[in-house]
Amino acid sequence: MSKRERFHGRVSDGQARPCDQPGCDAVGEFRAPRPRGQDGYYHFCLDHVRAYNASYDFFDGMTPDQMQDAASRAYTWDRPTWRIAGTGDDEELPRVDDVLGMFDDLPGYGAGFLRAGRRATNGRRVSRADLAALKVLGLDADAEAKDIRNRYRTLVRSYHPDSHGGDRRHESKLRAVIAAYKQLTRAPGTADAG
């Protein structure tokens, strides 16, 4: 059978069947599906298969819910699927590292949603490392870039050895503040803090 014949739906299985339309004695060389619940196919001539296909309604006899269910299964070719995101609960968010920021525009994701942490009141997700850095600076998860910068400057001035006449007792605190600030300036939402 040539490609052109297959395209037009002719069935050539070696049997010459009559058209299933009552009163038609042409050869039924085109298959058409029987109604739901009946096995097999009708075999029609070209004119009758065109008429049958024009009037065929797959959803005939279905409730609206059944129609919606059949249509939604057709989107995935009736194959199983899995959800990408959770129900909005922080514990259900995936733990991946989106270094390219591909998910920034998706609701529930955005800059910094990755890794375990918590969500600030402004909706920005804060990682555990950033929360620890904010704690060192004495700030909460809602801190803006200018708050981080101002607090860093204040703490560096207060812990710097020059502020204490060369006394190095606060040097470990100074290192912790500098490390925390570096961590926060690497964070996606606070890149402009420096």
To 5 degrees, how large is the angle CA 115–CA 119–CA 124? 90
List Cα–Cα distances, 55 to 49, 59, 73, 74, 81, in angstroms.
10, 12, 23, 21, 33
pLDDT (mean) for 57-69: 88
Which range marks the domain in which residue 154 is found? 90-193
pLDDT (mean) for 99-111: 62
pLDDT (mean) for 150-169: 86
Q: Is 99 found in the same domain as 177?
A: yes
In which region does residue 115 sit, left (phi positive, over 0), alpha (psi from -120 to 50) or beta (all else)?
Answer: left
C-alpha span between 104 and 121 (Å, rounded): 17
Question: pLDDT at residue 143 above 70?
Answer: yes
> What is the domain count for the chain?
2
User: Of 24, 41, 75, which residue constitutes the final position of a domain?
Assistant: 75
Identify the band that residue 115 occupies on the pLDDT scale cut at 50, 70 and 90: very low
Tokens 């194959």 sit on residue: 79
Q: Is 94 found in the same domain as 189?
A: yes
Segments of the chain assigned E as strands: 30-33, 41-44, 117-119, 125-127
Q: Is 100 found in the same domain as 58?
A: no
In a domain, 29, yes or no: yes
In a domain, 185, yes or no: yes
Q: What is the CATH number of the domain that holds 165?
A: 1.10.287.110
Identify the band that residue 177 occupies on the pLDDT scale cut at 50, 70 and 90: very high
In a domain, 85, yes or no: no
pLDDT of residue 170: 83
C-alpha span between 141 and 28 (Å, rounded): 74
In a domain, 84, yes or no: no
pLDDT of residue 191: 46
In a domain, 80, yes or no: no
pLDDT (mean) for 184-190: 69
In a domain, 82, yes or no: no
Secondary structure element (H or E) that encloses residue 53, with its range? helix 46-55
In a domain, 170, yes or no: yes
Identify the band that residue 149 occupies on the pLDDT scale cut at 50, 70 and 90: very high
Task: Evaluate whether 76 touches 151 at the Cβ level (below 8 Å).
Answer: no
